[in-house]
């Protein structure tokens, strides 16, 4: 197996020998007994002359091709979410194009499950905004997604967080939007560890107080709510909320630290999944969910257990930079031919961080072609001035 010298946390180098990858099936064998969405990344166009800090240049063919691979694995696609760098390089015009193209591609896939993010990111956050400004912004994006025939993931709003004066303001905005949607939506509560601009969402900095507000909104709009995805990286808070959900409202875990336990569930209930890490570990996630659907919970845990250290590393603080690790994994595994991101976000993590990602991906059996992964890792190291 290939060997290369990788940077260590103390600034040195240490030899690393790759192991054989795990033989994950290329397709799901049966329907899963959990709903499983993968939030999906976008592939930048590195040859575009657009300024990457200003304009989102997308390689549409590679971006859509990656989503087709997720469908083959039995996973749904959560489109135009934060994993696609929404609000961190991907603006609303580019998101519209992404949503349109992704929905169009899904029409040819039997049973394809896709839901698309609708938010307010075309509205500049400001304390001077009115709630009606926020409502109109939500309405515009919801109308676009529904006009394309898509289902809605109602994203958290930086604009609402900036201008809301009380928990009642959140209730007013969500009640208004949910009263108008055509079919039940999936609500996304994205924690401040993912986006600092969302601190104090639902009108409280304390998550448990915020949870009470959110649950009241869900109870008032249960018929228009398919479920809620919470991304707080705290399994106990998720379980607490899951047990208090109105009847018929699903919990979609967004916990990239504890997903296996939350998906498996307990004697009271379980979480479905909408996870950014499923982009990076898609073959393992599919194989694990396939085993779980076949009644083999031990294999489910055996497959996912070694992916958890990788996920916790990719999503370590500052968590908002996790997309760099997700795209690096796609490049190492040959899903795209470069390690360039919109917004120049490939530079958001250090070389030692990427080296540890490489080690942990190998330990999880997720480097499907060790020779290719090694050759590409050498390119990363050379970019950082590391001669190996």
In whole angstroms, give the CA distance from residue 95 to residue 91.
6
Instruction: Flag whether 117 is in a domain.
Output: yes
In whole angstroms, give the CA distance from residue 346 to residue 324.
5
* Residue 92 DSSP SS3: helix
Instruction: Flag whether 244 is in a domain.
Output: yes
Question: Taking a C-beta distance cutoff of 8 angstroms, is the pair 172, 214 a contact?
Answer: no
Question: Taking a C-beta distance cutoff of 8 angstroms, is the pair 46, 340 a contact?
Answer: yes
Which residue has tokens 């083959």? 72
Q: 320 has which bridge partners?
A: none
pLDDT digit of tens for each residue in the chain (388 aa)?
A: 898 999 988 888 999 999 999 999 999 989 999 999 999 999 999 999 988 888 889 999 999 999 999 999 999 999 999 999 999 999 999 999 999 999 999 999 999 999 999 999 999 999 999 999 999 999 999 999 999 999 999 999 999 999 999 999 999 999 999 999 999 999 999 999 999 999 999 999 999 999 999 999 999 999 999 999 999 999 999 999 999 999 999 999 999 999 999 999 999 999 999 999 999 999 999 999 999 999 999 999 999 999 999 999 999 999 999 999 999 999 999 999 999 999 999 999 999 999 999 999 999 999 999 999 999 999 999 999 887 6
Query: What is the 3 state secondary structure string of 201-212?
Result: HHHCCCHHHHHH
Entry pTM: 0.96
Pairing verdict, β 225-231 and 250-253: parallel
Q: Supply the range of the domain harboring residue 268.
A: 32-323+334-345
Question: Taking a C-beta distance cutoff of 8 angstroms, is the pair 40, 83 a contact?
Answer: yes
Instruction: Flag whether 242 is in a domain.
Output: yes
* Residue 64 DSSP SS3: helix
Instruction: Flag whether 354 is in a domain.
Output: no
Query: Could you count the other beta carbons within 10 Å of the beta carbon of residue 216?
Result: 15
* Residue 331 DSSP SS3: helix
Instruction: Flag whether 91 is in a domain.
Output: yes
Instruction: Flag whether 95 is in a domain.
Output: yes
- For the chain, what is the domain count? 1
Instruction: Flag whether 24 is in a domain.
Output: no
Which residue has tokens 């899904």? 106
Instruction: Find the CATH number of the domain harbouring 129.
Output: 3.20.20.70
In this prediction, residue 145 carries a pLDDT of 98
Instruction: Flag whether 51 is in a domain.
Output: yes
* Residue 25 DSSP SS3: coil
In whole angstroms, give the CA distance from residue 191 to residue 174.
17
């Amino acid at each position: 197996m290939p060997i290369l010298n990788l940077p260590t946390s103390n600034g040195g180098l240490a030899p690393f020998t790759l192991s054989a990858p795990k033989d994950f099936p290329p397709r799901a064998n049966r329907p899963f007994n959990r709903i499983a969405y993968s939030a999906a990344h976008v592939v930048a166009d590195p040859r575009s002359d657009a300024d990457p800090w200003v304009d989102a240049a997308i390689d549409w063919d590679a971006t859509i091709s990656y989503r087709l691979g997720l469908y083959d694995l039995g996973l749904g696609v959560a489109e135009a979410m934060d994993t696609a760098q929404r609000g961190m390089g991907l603006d609303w015009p580019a998101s519209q194009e992404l949503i349109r193209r992704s929905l169009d591609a899904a029409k040819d896939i039997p049973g394809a499950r896709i839901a698309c993010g609708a938010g307010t990111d075309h509205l500049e956050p400001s304390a001077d905004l009115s709630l009606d400004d926020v409502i109109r912004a939500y309405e515009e994006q919801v109308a676009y997604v529904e006009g394309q025939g898509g289902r809605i993931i109602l994203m958290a709003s930086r604009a609402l967080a900036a201008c809301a004066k009380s928990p009642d303001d959140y209730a007013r905005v969500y009640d208004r939007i949910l009263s108008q949607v055509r079919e039940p939506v999936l609500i996304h509560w994205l924690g401040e560890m993912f986006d600092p601009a969302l601190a104090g969402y639902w009108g409280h900095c304390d998550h448990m107080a915020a949870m009470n507000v959110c649950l009241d909104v869900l109870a008032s709009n249960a018929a228009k709510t398919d479920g809620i995805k919470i991304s707080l990286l705290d399994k106990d808070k998720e379980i607490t909320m899951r047990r208090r959900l109105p009847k018929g409202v699903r919990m979609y875990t967004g916990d990239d630290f504890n997903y296996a336990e939350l998906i498996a569930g307990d004697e009271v209930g379980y979480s479905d999944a909408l996870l950014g890490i499923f982009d990076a570990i898609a073959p393992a996630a599919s194989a694990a969910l396939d085993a779980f659907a076949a009644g083999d919970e031990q294999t489910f845990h055996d497959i996912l257990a070694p992916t958890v250290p990788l996920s916790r590393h990719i999503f370590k603080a500052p968590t908002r930079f996790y997309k760099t690790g997700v795209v690096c994994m796609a490049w190492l595994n040959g899903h795209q031919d470069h390690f360039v991101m919109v917004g120049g976000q490939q530079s958001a993590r250090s070389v030692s961080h990427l080296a540890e990602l490489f080690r942990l991906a190998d330990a999880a059996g997720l480097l499907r072609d060790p020779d290719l992964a090694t050759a590409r890792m050498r390119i990363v190291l050379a970019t950082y001035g590391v001669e190996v």
